[in-house]
Amino acid sequence: MALEDARKDIDTAFTRKGLKGLAFENAFAGATSFLRRTYTKDLTGVELAITGVPFDQAVTHRTGTRFGPRAIREASALQPFDPPYGWPSNPLEEMNIVDYGDLAFDYAHTPSFPGLLTGHIRTILSAGAGTVTLGGDHFITLPILRAYAEKYGPMAVIHFDAHSDLWADDDMDRIDHGTFFYKAVKTGVIDPSASVQIGIRTHCDDYLGVEYIDARTVHEKGVAHAVARAKAIVRDRPTYVTFDIDCLDPSCAPGTGTPVWGGLHSWQAAAALRDLAGINMVGGDIVEVSPAYDTTGATAIAGAHVAHELICLYHWARTRR
């Protein structure tokens, strides 16, 4: 830590000069933007926008992910002092990254939500920036992917989750976090032949041509096996990475709505995300952090680390591929 900066820096989310650099204000103080990035709606020159979507009206069990973006931002205050461990580059010093704030929506008018979110992401993409989104429940990925598919065509997706989210539901107006992947495939937003799911450990009747690597396979064959297979599937396609925190075992991330035993441990997720370096990642999200079910804050901390790794993957795809 730069001691002199720590003595004088405060609220760097608003007072920072420029969009790059580490941050040294006290982790327990100040405005908690993600990684202390500048809060702004000005996308001029921005390469990556972090945005929050505090929506949880699509959950099937425990609510609370509307508080996920806030908790993830707060947890991230521990991270901007140093370059990200295990990466040979530092996107905080090399990229123009901002915290674009949260999506505004009427919580009492759920039908309008998907279009608002697609438009929100479309605005960022049209400015030439990518997105890393802090959720929110996993339904949010569908409207996000619609905006990405408008720009890139059917997306390659790497999906970390305990659940396939492929429940059959042909009512495209129905909002449910367990059906987002099904609807994305059925409407051509996702290319199933170029997509893969990692960490699955719940039943699915039909994977619709999407390959899956269940949690037991990751445990028995190793992270390297899963990553190699994922890279072979997405190839050089524009790829979106979506990470449901319940991919992690509840011992690592209890603060989520639909926890399932037997999941990935945090070291496995960290290794997998870092070893995915080289994919053509164009955007990603971390979803289903529900902080009320975790008094330790460990789930939000894990979510903040996932989002930081997604930033590193995005940066790597633009500078080292």
137 is annotated as contributing to ligand binding: no
173 is annotated as contributing to ligand binding: no
120 is annotated as contributing to ligand binding: no
3-state secondary structure the chain: CCHHHHHHCCCHHHHCCCCCCCCCCCCCCCCCCHHHCEECCCCCCCCEEEEEECCCCCCCCCCCHHHHHHHHHHHHHHCCCCCCCCCCCCHHHHCCEEEEEECCCCCCCHHHHHHHHHHHHHHHHHCCCEEEEEECCHHHHHHHHHHHHHHHCCEEEEEECCCCCCCCCCCCCCCCCCCHHHHHHHCCCECHHHCEEEEECCCCCCCCCCEEEEHHHHHHHCHHHHHHHHHHHHCCCCEEEEEEHHHECCCCCCCCCCCCCCCECHHHHHHHHHHCECECEEEEEEECCCHHHCCCCHHHHHHHHHHHHHHHHHHHHHHCC
165 is annotated as contributing to ligand binding: yes
244 is annotated as contributing to ligand binding: yes
163 is annotated as contributing to ligand binding: yes
Annotated binding-site positions: 138, 161, 163, 165, 244, 246
Binding site for Mn(2+), residues? Answer: 138, 161, 163, 165, 244, 246
